[in-house]
Amino acid sequence: MSAVRYEVDGNVAVLTVDYPPVNALSAAVRTGLGEGLEKARNDDSVEAVIVLGADKTFIAGADITEFGTEKSAVKPGLRDLIETLETFPKLTVAAIHGTALGGGLELALGCHARVAVSSAKVGLPEVNLGILPGAGGTQRLPRLTGVETGIDLITSGKHIPAAKALELGVVDAVVDDVRAGGVAFAQKSLAEGTQFTAVIERNDKISGVEPKVFEEARKRIGAKARGKIAPMVIIDCIEAATKMDSVAGLKYEQEKFQELFASDQRGALMHYFFAEREARKVPDLPADTKVRPINSAAVIGSGTMGGGIAMVFANAGIQVKLVDISSEALEKGMETVRKNYEISVGRGSMPKAKMDAALKLIETTTDYADLANTDIVIEAVFEKMDLKKEIFSKLDSVMKDGAILATNTSSLDIDEIASATKRPEDVIGVHFFSPANVMKLQENIRGAKSSPSTIKTVMDIGKKLGKNVVLAGNCDGFIGNRILQYYTGEAEFLLEQGATPEQVDRVAMKFGMPMGPISMRDMSGLDVGVLVRKARWNSLPEGERMSPIVERLAERGRIGMKVGKGFYRYEGRDKFPDPETTEIIEGVAKEYGVKRREFTDEEIELRLFAPMVNEGAKELEDGTAIRASDIDVAWVNGYGFPAHKGGPMYWGERVGLKKIHEMAVEAEKRNGPRWAPSKLLGRLAKEGKGWKDA
Ligand SMILES: NC(=O)c1ccc[n+]([C@@H]2O[C@H](COP(=O)([O-])OP(=O)(O)OC[C@H]3O[C@@H](n4cnc5c(N)ncnc54)[C@H](O)[C@@H]3O)[C@@H](O)[C@H]2O)c1
């Protein structure tokens, strides 16, 4: 059966792409469309063609499983089809429902006109895979929207709803029913003799654009891109559209597409794309494991995390009860929640109506009895084992059978928390990151007794909550924080050995981290750092120490940004090096007999990131992480590791596991036994293998 159905409705040929699950532009679909168009060309009764998708969506995009395979070369290619639609002697209309993304939207832009139902979304998300829309997207979309909006849409990969697409000129009409509306639009246009100019020939919105528009976009988007090349190349292509004729512009786009396609960043982002999807799968759960319905939630503790977690559920349309010890505490918590919503609305990232609806879904209470019918509870009180156990024992007595009892702990033992209940099978870690309503990671932690259905339910809910999930084993720090201590630990040793805070931060930022490890400490507060590190100081193995710089700075009141001084001195948001910090660091180096020297940026980069890879290998070895790519997902979403480097494990493999192993051998000598190379890493390095052989 063809992937494209051909039907005639009056004087309109209807080409329906029917290629589950998302009508991607695979070879079969392209062939089917090519054949359908020829049939329509030769059918004298046909005066117009509409293209639409079967089932839930228009063409959702390219078929990335065909990338780099023989199938991707099968003719007609997407560009051939677009040219056919654009120069077709009869009217061509794209009728969009669901999503028209990437190649799907590019194909629609090749049609003479576009209509969409109101729930449809369109966008060119190629930038997220390190490429650009290479079938004319950078040349056609700005011709409809204007250059500035075009730059914004294509460099962000944003999906825009139909109403916005209509306002921007991307679609010509919003219709009620995709097929009937598409046919009616075509027939009306024919009856009225409406003349459509091919998008590629419309130059009014791209003429006379000042060069400073591009300069400013490069500055603004460059600052956010953190080393990602695709957004910058997209700006070059859009500038080319304003300077070259359409043939040259399309050719330029094509060359730039090839360059990006061959880049390391594309490889890393593709890896990352699949990693996110893979991370949702838990291989050892029985096939018939049931997902429990989650229609209501409760959050215990309305502090920094609790408030944010309540927002996450409310944003997903789930009723949530927020619990704290007093109505004063709840009032304070809700004030922060409201403020955070207002910031989103003020920024334009959330419509006011959505804020109002979400706020209506959050109820507050101090009475645990109110939670009796709730499907899931997330505990987010202070990080104290006794308190958490007390709360879980209370939850055990009030919550209905089958409710999920989750903790947001960052470090405590899930099994010990579960032991406070008579139903450890329903207990699990569901770890969000701060700010919970913004950060994308949801790190679920399985306890020894967490049941398959408990695990599957919390893995499943991530999608609804708009989070990327990973499943971790129960250990100190789980997947993400367990690795973090090696990153920040090595940063501090580097300072003792002669690198400056500015240099360490600069190298991390150049690598693509949103913030350097030293500034990160200043931001979260050195007093908090000292508290978290206390337990670790006492549990260090023989022959190992941590750098006490954080403690020494805190002793002198340098507890971070909030007091205007930490590692750096602050004037407002601007930071400056401070001689007192240098004196403290030099003092520590002297005390421990550390020889100071200069470091190259390359050395610092390897020293910061290689130990993370080694610890990641240990997580694979002991089962804390199911697969290496889960560690990548955790670090990209929870800590801002650049996705265009694929995540720490992918990066490590690109650097070479042999090199990472050598670094670990050195780190053990320098820093102590916890830094020793992982056995798995040693084996893979020796055999010249990669994570897939782990
Ligand atoms: N802050 C972070 O960056 C972060 C990130 C991930 C996880 N966590 C974890 O989340 C949890 C909460 O951290 P936080 O930063 O939101 O703390 P917080 O101090 O901001 O908030 C804790 C809240 O719990 C309330 N509380 C205390 N005892 C209670 C009780 N018996 N019943 C109901 N409420 C009670 C407090 O009144 C307070 O509102 C901790 O386990 C922490 O380790 C924190």
Q: What's the CATH code of the domain at 337? A: 3.40.50.720
Query: Would residue 385 count as lying in a domain?
Result: yes
Helix (H, G, I), strand (E, B) or coil at 214: helix
Within a domain: 279? no
253 within a domain of the structure (yes/no): yes
Same domain, 34 and 103: yes
Pair 251, 301 in one domain:
no
- Distance from the Cα of residue 370 to its chain's centroid: 35
1 pLDDT higher than 80: no
Report how far residue 256's alpha carbon sits from residue 239's, in angstroms, rounded to the nearest whole number: 13
Tell me, yes or no, whether 465 and 531 share the same domain.
no
Q: List, in sequence order, the alpha helices (H) in 317-403.
A: 327-347, 352-361, 385-398
Q: From the CA of 436, how far away is ligand 1's center (Å)? A: 12
Structural domain total, the chain: 3
Kindly state whether residues 457 and 530 are assigned to the same domain. no
Do the beta carbons of residue 512 and residue 642 sit within 8 Å?
yes
DSSP character at residue 289 = P
Determine whether the shortest distance from the Cβ of 302 to ligand 1 is under 6 A.
yes
Q: Is 583 tagged catalytic?
A: no
| Burial tier of 572 (Cβ tally within 10 Å: 0-12, 13-18, 19+) | exposed
Amino acid identity at 521 = R
Q: Atom of ligand 1 at shortest distance to CA of 432?
A: 6
Gap between the Cα atoms of 687 and 297, Å rounded: 49
Tokens linked to 230: 């695709």
Which of 209, 238, 261 is where one domain is finished?
261
Once rounded to an integer, what is the mean pLDDT over residues 209-235? 96
Ligand 1 centroid to Cα of residue 291, in Å, is: 28
| pLDDT over threshold 90, residue 536 | no
Whole-number Å distance between alpha carbons of 374 and 400: 7
Are residue 189 and residue 66 in the same domain, yes or no?
Answer: yes
Q: Using one digit for the tens of pLDDT, what is the confidence trace for 79-123?
A: 999 999 999 999 999 999 999 999 999 999 999 999 999 999 999
Atom number, ligand 1, closest to the C-alpha of residue 305: 16
Q: 457 with 542, same domain?
A: no
Q: Are 319 and 408 members of one domain?
A: yes
Domain-embedded: residue 283: no
Average pLDDT over residues 233-252: 98
Copy the structure tokens of residue 283. 């291989």
pLDDT, tens only, 632-691: 999 999 999 999 999 999 999 999 999 999 999 999 999 999 999 999 999 999 999 999
> Which of these three, 474, 509, 543, is where a domain ends?
474
Judged on CB neighbours under 10 Å (0-12, 13-18, 19+), 444 is: buried
585-604 average pLDDT score: 98
Whether residues 485 and 470 fall in one domain: no
| C-alpha to C-alpha distance for 643 and 650, rounded to whole angstroms | 10
- What is residue 534's predicted lDDT score, i.e. its pLDDT? 87
Across the strands, what pairs with 444?
A: 430, 471
Structure confidence by residue, pLDDT tens digits, 430-444: 999 999 999 999 999
The whole-angstrom separation of Cα 262 and Cα 67 is 12
List 47, 83, 106, 443, catalytic entry = 106
Same-domain pairing of 128 and 237: yes
For strands 12-17 and 4-9, give the pairing.
Answer: antiparallel
For 310-364, what is each residue's pLDDT tens digit? 999 999 999 999 999 999 999 999 999 999 999 999 998 899 999 999 999 999 9
Q: Supply the CATH number for residue 686's domain.
A: 1.10.1040.50
CA of residue 284 to ligand 1 center, whole Å = 32
Same domain assignment for residues 204 and 342: no
Last residue of one domain, picked from the residues 474, 507, 542: 474
**Measured from the CB, is residue 407 less than 6 Å from ligand 1?**
no
Phi first, then psi: what are they for 443, rounded to 5°? -95, 110
Query: Does 276 map to a domain?
Result: no
| φ and ψ at residue 431, rounded to 5 degrees | -100, 115
Domain of 105, CATH number, reads: 3.90.226.10
Q: Take atom 38 of ligand 1 and give the residue whose Cα is closest.
A: 303
Token pair, residue 607, equals 């020293």
| Tokens 């991390």, residue located | 508
The reported pLDDT for the residue numbered 491 is 98
Whether 68 has a pLDDT exceeding 90, the answer reads no
One domain for residues 469 and 514: no
Q: Is the pLDDT reported for residue 469 higher than 90?
A: yes
Residue 208, judged by CB atoms within 10 A of its CB (0-12, 13-18, 19+), counts as exposed
Ligand 1 close to Cβ of residue 477 (< 6 A): no
pTM for the structure as a whole: 0.92
pLDDT, position 478: 97
Please check the confidence at residue 21 and state whether its pLDDT lies above 90.
yes
Tell which one of 299, 300, 305 to mutate to probe ligand 1, the residue whose CB is within 8 A of the most ligand atoms. Answer: 305
* Ligand 1 lined by 678 (C-beta under 6 Å): no
pLDDT digits 0-9 by tens, 124-171: 999 999 999 999 999 999 999 999 999 999 999 999 999 999 999 999
Q: Is the CB of 379 within 6 Å of ligand 1?
A: no
306 touches ligand 1 (CB under 6 Å): yes
Which among 618, 604, 614 has a CA at the least distance from the CA of 511?
604
Select from 299, 302, 304 the residue to mutate for testing ligand 1; criterion: most ligand atoms less than 8 Å from CB. Answer: 304
Q: How far apart are CA 307 and CA 420, in angstroms?
A: 25
Q: What pLDDT sits at residue 434?
A: 93
Q: Are residues 199 and 321 in the same domain?
A: no
Name the residue at shortest CA distance from atom 9 of ligand 1.
409
The answer to whether position 289 is within a domain reads: no
Residue 384 alpha carbon to ligand 1 centre in Å: 9
What count of other Cβ atoms lies within 10 Å of the Cβ of residue 348? 7
The mean pLDDT of the chain is 97
**Residue 64 banded pLDDT, cuts 50, 70, 90:** confident
Say what the pLDDT of residue 121 is. Answer: 97
Segments forming the whole domain that contains residue 216? 4-261
Task: Please indicate whether residue 255 is annotated as part of the active site.
Answer: no
Find the mean pLDDT for residues 388-409. 98
Confidence tier at 65 by pLDDT (50, 70, 90): confident
